[in-house]
Amino acid sequence: MKFDLQNGSVDIKKKAQLKLPKGVDADFLEQMNDMMTEYDDTFKGLVNR
């Protein structure tokens, strides 16, 4: 995931597959990816508030 704060908004984007540093759990990142996919419409809806 890539998080950017620009002009008062947060952009959250999927990043290309990369080699994980030692100590970073791939399962956690996969769960985050699943959550982002599941709630994508919700996050996009928050932009309009």
pLDDT digits (tens, 9 = 90+) for 2-22: 777 777 778 777 766 678 888
Q: Where are the beta strands (DSSP E) in the chain?
A: 2-6, 9-13
| Number of domains the chain contains | 1
Domain that holds residue 37: 2-47
CA distance 38 to 7: 26
Residues near 33 by beta carbon (within 8 Å), at least 6 away in sequence: 1, 14
Check whether 38 has a pLDDT greater than 90: yes
The answer on pLDDT for 25 being more than 70 is: yes
What mean pLDDT do residues 29-40 have? Answer: 88
Residue 44 has pLDDT above 90, yes or no: no
